[in-house]
């Protein structure tokens, strides 16, 4: 199911990256392989720019990207360096890592072969600003309920920007219509629960 939004700029949509993009990867895939091979992140960027990485919540920071693996429902949250003592403690490879041994991501469960699993990748602060524009214009997969909540929260801003929205036929079939242009209220009236949506933002025109 596809949605294309023509907007004046990408800035309002960068917050959407904090709620997560959906990937399908083989169960037991390492965090490094998930981000490089399946998410398409440059290995040097991952190594040098992603200073803080959480697996399944803020209580599980990851240091070893090859030992930690993903499973069904895994959530990866990526951030550049965070300020202060807390940021230094949670930073990958930090000399203060010993202070957080009790909250580190534990040993991963054994993989089960190539069974595909659904993984969510979230981008924060400078990582979202640096990677977000290219991701949004190329297209990302988002959870339907999450996307609906984002549109609702940002409705006033998005209405002001005068968005142009196009959906494919799958999202309108329930109403007996073909795909094509729709209004923001049209999208907000759709039941997007349980749907993964391919979303692309076209900020080249308004």
Six-digit token string for 36: 């490089």
DSSP symbol at 175: G
State the pLDDT at residue 89: 40
| Tens digits of residue pLDDT in 66-90 | 999 999 999 999 998 544 433 434 4
In this prediction, residue 179 carries a pLDDT of 66
Residue 86 confidence (pLDDT):
38
pLDDT digits over 19-53, tens only?
999 999 999 999 999 999 999 999 999 999 998 89
pLDDT at 97 over 70: no
Average pLDDT over residues 109-115: 59
Alpha helices, DSSP H, located in the chain: 11-14, 16-19, 31-33, 43-48, 84-90, 125-138, 144-153, 155-161, 184-188
The residue ranking higher by pLDDT, 111 or 183, is 183
- Reference 78, options 135, 117, 44, 124; nearest CA is 124
* pLDDT tens per residue, range 134-186: 999 999 999 999 999 999 999 999 988 888 999 987 765 555 555 689 999 99
| Separation in Å, CA 49 to CA 31, 96, 199 | 15, 19, 26
Please state the pTM of the whole predicted model. Answer: 0.80
Q: Higher-confidence residue: 134 or 93?
A: 134
| pLDDT of 104 higher than 60 | no
More confident residue, 192 or 86: 192
Share of the chain above pLDDT 70, in %: 76
Give the other-Cβ count within 10 Å of 54's Cβ: 19
């Amino acid at each position: 199911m596809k949605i294309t939004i023509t907007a004046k700029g990408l800035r309002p949509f960068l917050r959407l990256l904090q709620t997560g993009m959906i990937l399908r990867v083989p169960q037991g895939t390492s965090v490094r392989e998930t981000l490089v091979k399946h998410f398409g992140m440059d290995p040097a960027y991952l190594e040098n720019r992603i200073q803080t990485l959480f697996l399944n919540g803020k209580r599980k920071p990851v240091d070893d990207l090859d030992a930690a693996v993903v499973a069904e429902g895994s959530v990866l949250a990526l951030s550049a360096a965070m300020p202060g003592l807390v940021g230094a403690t949670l930073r990958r490879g930090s000399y203060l890592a010993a202070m957080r041994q009790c909250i580190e991501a534990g040993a991963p469960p054994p993989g089960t072969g190539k069974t595909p699993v659904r993984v969510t990748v979230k981008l924060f602060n400078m990582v979202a600003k640096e990677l977000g524009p290219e991701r949004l214009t190329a297209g990302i997969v988002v959870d339907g309920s999450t996307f609906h909540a984002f549109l609702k929260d940002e409705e006033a801003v998005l209405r002001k920007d005068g968005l142009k929205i196009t959906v494919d036929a799958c999202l309108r079939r329930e109403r007996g219509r073909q795909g094509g242009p729709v209004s923001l209220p049209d999208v907000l009236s759709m039941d997007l629960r349980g749907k993964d949506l391919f979303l692309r933002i076209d900020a080249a025109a308004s």
